[in-house]
Structure 1
Amino acid sequence: MATKDALFAISLIPYLGFLWFLTRSGQAPRLALIGFYLTLLFIAVTAPAGIYALKVYGVSLANLDWLHGSAEVFLTLSNIVIVLGFRQAILQAQQEAD
């Protein structure tokens, strides 16, 4: 396993820990929590896309724009859901304060 691949795999451990604690705390807005979990979908899509780019085209995913952009859609989706979740929580807190 290449060094960057090992670092990527190891980086999942703290992220999974973050998700576990955030879920157990019960304090995160539900929609934002879903967005954080959607980041795992991005990872699940990006890894096979990277392998495909390397095997079929002989380049890294970053050098194959159409495939890289397609994978990044999932990251964009998760970020939008996270922002909407926190926005919803802020608006709700403001309404309760009024």
Structure 2
Amino acid sequence: TSAEELYIAYNNISDLSQLTWLDHLEVLDLEGNNIEDINQMQYLRLCCKLSHLTVEGNLICLKPSAESAEDPDYNYRAEVKKLIPHLKYLDRIPTSQT
């Protein structure tokens, strides 16, 4: 498919594996969903045109997985950038400002 923008905020989404086929996707809004594992972000690496991603309001912003203890040194922005290196904006802030 050729969807370039997908706004699916607040939909209780936790599994991102079905988004891998959206190879033209440039903008993805996942704000306020149920993404509990930072490793779900690796599926979005396959969306090679993805440049703008919003994930604020998901558990991954606080800790890497539901089982993890909160770690004051955990930086979800840095982790997402590692998993999706071509991303330009994360939560409306340039990824260069991590």
TM-score w.r.t. length of structure 2? 0.28
- Give 1 or 2 for the bigger CA radius of gyration: 1
Which structure features the higher share of helix residues?
Answer: 1
Higher relative contact order (CA closer than 8 Å, sequence separation 6+): 1
